[in-house]
Amino acid sequence: MAFIDWVLHPTELWAAFWFFMRHAPPDEKTVKLQVSGDMKRCYDFLEMTSRSFAAVIQELNPKLRDGICLFYLVLRGLDTIEDDMTIPGARKRHLLETFHEIIYQKGWTFKESGPDEKDALLLVEFDTVINEFLRLPTEFQDVIADITRRMGAGMAKYTRARVESLEDYNEYCHYAAGLVGHGLSRLFAVSGLEDKSVGEQLELANSMGLFLQKTNITRDINEDVLDGRCFWPKAVWSKYADSEEHLIDRENREKGMEALNEMCTNVLQHIPDVLDYLNQIQEPSVFRFCAIPQVMAIATIVLCYDNSRVLDGNVKIRKGEALKLISQATTLDSVKRTFYRYIEQLERKNTPDNPMHDKVAKIIHRTKKDIAGTLKGGAPVDFTKEYLLLVLFFFTVSAFFYSYLTEKNSF
C-alpha cells in the first residue's frame, strides 16, 4: 500500500527524502541546540509529548525557542490534568484554576495521575519545567502565566458544563486553542521578532487556534464518542441523531454524514482569518512555525469532508503528504498555493446533492478568488489527472510487454 502511495504521489517521496536528510534524530537536535541540564530535559519532554511540535519549535529563532518550548510544556501539563478522568472533580478544578500560580512554586511536582495517563512523567518532573520557566525574561513569564490562568479557568468551567450551543463550541475552542494563539502572538511581539501589532490583533490569532482545534474535534468524533465524551455541539448533532452514540452508528450513516459535513463547514469559515494572520508574520522561522499546523489542518479537514471513514475511526493524511506540506510551508505565496490546491479538492468533493453544498460552494468561491488575486504568476494548475493517466499508461504498457515476453518464453 505504501509503495502504491509513493507511485501515485512521487513528489511526496521527494519531500520525504529531503526531510530526513535535513532533520537530525532527537538526541542530535538537543546537542545542536547547545542546551544542557534542566533545559535539555525540557526538550526531551517536548519530544516525548509531541514529535510534530518539537520539530517546528526547535527550528525557531533562538530569541523565541526556549520560551515557546516552556509555554508548550506548561500548557501540556495543564492539559494532562484536564484530560485525566481519574482525578476527582473538585481536586481537578482546583488544580486547573491555580496552575498559573503553581508554575511559580519551585519544587512542585504531581504524582496523582491515572495509570493510563501517557504524559504523567511530565508532571512527575514538573519542577524541571518550573526551574526553566523562572529563568525566562519577566515579559515572557507574564504572558505564559496570564494565558495559563485564563485557560485553566475555561477548562475548569467545562469540567461541569457541556458544549450545547455553537456559542459554547466557539468558547470551548477559544479556551482550548484560541488562547494559545493569543499567547504565541504576544510572545512573538515581546521577543521583538514581530511587530507589536501582531500581539494586538488577537481576533485573527483566535481564529488560527480555532481552525486547528475544530479540525481535530471534527476528525476525532469516533474516538471521542467511544471514550464517552463529545465536543461536537449538541445544537448540531441533535439535528441528526438521538444521542452521541447514534451519531456514529452505521444504521444512521446518512444523517451522520450530514452532521459531519456541517461540522466541516464550520471549520472552513476560519480560512480568511488564517491567511490574514499569516500575511502579517515577517520572521521566517516564526512564519514556518505558524504555517505548518495550518496547512496540515486544511489538508485534514478536506480529507474529512463527506468521508464516512471519519465516523468509523481515525482518519489521517498520508505521512508523505504531511512531509510535503512541511517542505512547502516556507512563504506566504507557497502556503496560499497549498490552500488553493486543497480548496480545489474540496470543490470536486462538494456534490450538488450534499445539503451543505451551497454554503461550502460560497466558501470555495471566496477563497479561490481571494488567493488567485494575490498569487505570483496566477492560480496554480493541477496536473493530477494528467499524471494519473501517465501512470496508468506506463503500467498498461509494462503489463503488455511482460505478458508478451512470458508467452514468448513459454514456446
Residues designated catalytic:
172, 219, 229, 289
The three three-digit cell numbers of residue 382, written as one number:
493541477
CA distances from 217 to 76, 158, 221, 263 (A): 18, 15, 6, 9
Give the list of residues 6+ apart from residue 191 with CB closer than 8 angstroms, or none.
61, 63, 64, 67
CA distances from 126 to 33, 45, 243 (A): 21, 10, 39
Distance CA(50)–CA(26), nearest Å, equals: 12
The three three-digit cell numbers of residue 266, written as one number:
464550520
Distance CA(244)–CA(242), nearest Å, equals: 7
Which string of b and e fits 353-371 if b means at least 16 CB within 10 Å? Answer: ebebeebbeebbeebbebb
- Count other Cβ atoms within 10 Å, centred on residue 150: 16
- Count other Cβ atoms within 10 Å, centred on residue 379: 16
Which string of b and e fits 294-328 if b means at least 16 CB within 10 Å? Answer: bbbbbbbbbbbbbbeebbeeebeebebbbbbbbbb
Task: State the amino acid at position 136 in one-letter form.
Answer: L
Which DSSP symbol is given to 313? S
Distance CA(194)–CA(280), nearest Å, equals: 9
